[in-house]
């Protein structure tokens, strides 16, 4: 955590040095080499500071690291009425239901349905297609 703060501070100092080059570049005798050096130092300092901010955000973000495979696996829920694999859950009754039993349980005044979580896939191609990455 301290490393990220030091990186941000160092990046800001490099950015300040880059800004100090600007008066020399635009003075009474303009120098394009000083302008290029100042712009390079400014941009390098901003990249260093952004890297420090990124490191700090990764450290502070909840759930930044993926869970181990064993922890990701969840038990499949079964339908309360027929004991097959459930696909939806009635929220007020806390009742997992399969597609066939959903029609028997349906009550539009009292029930609110949510889909059950799908099992995580380990195929990278499938993940990239679903997330759009």
pLDDT tens per residue, range 31-62: 889 999 999 999 999 999 999 999 988 888 77
SS (H, E, C) 6-30: HHHHHHHHHHHHHHHCHHHHCCCCC
Percentage of the chain with pLDDT > 70?
78
CATH numeric code, 75-117: 3.30.160
Whole-number Å distance between alpha carbons of 46 and 12: 7
Question: 41-45, 72-76, 86-90, 125-129: lowest mean pLDDT where?
Answer: 125-129
Burial class of residue 11, CB neighbours in 10 A (0-12, 13-18, 19+)? buried
pTM for this model (two decimals): 0.46
Q: In this predicted model, what pLDDT tens digit does every residue of 16-30 receive, in sequence order?
A: 999 999 888 887 888
Mean pLDDT of the chain: 80
């Amino acid at each position: 955590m301290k490393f990220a703060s030091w990186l941000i501070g160092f990046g800001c100092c490099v950015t300040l040095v880059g800004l100090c080059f600007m008066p020399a570049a635009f003075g009474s005798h303009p120098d394009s080499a000083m302008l290029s050096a100042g712009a390079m130092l400014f941009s390098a300092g901003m990249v260093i500071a952004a890297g420090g901010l990124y490191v700090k955000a990764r450290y502070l973000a909840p759930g930044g690291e993926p869970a181990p495979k064993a922890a990701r696996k969840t038990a499949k829920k079964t339908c309360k009425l027929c004991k097959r694999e459930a696909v939806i859950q009635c929220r007020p009754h806390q009742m997992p239901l399969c597609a066939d039993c959903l029609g028997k349980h349906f009550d539009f005044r009292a029930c609110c349905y949510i889909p059950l979580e799908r099992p995580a896939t380990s195929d990278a191609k499938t993940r990239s297609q679903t997330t759009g990455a």
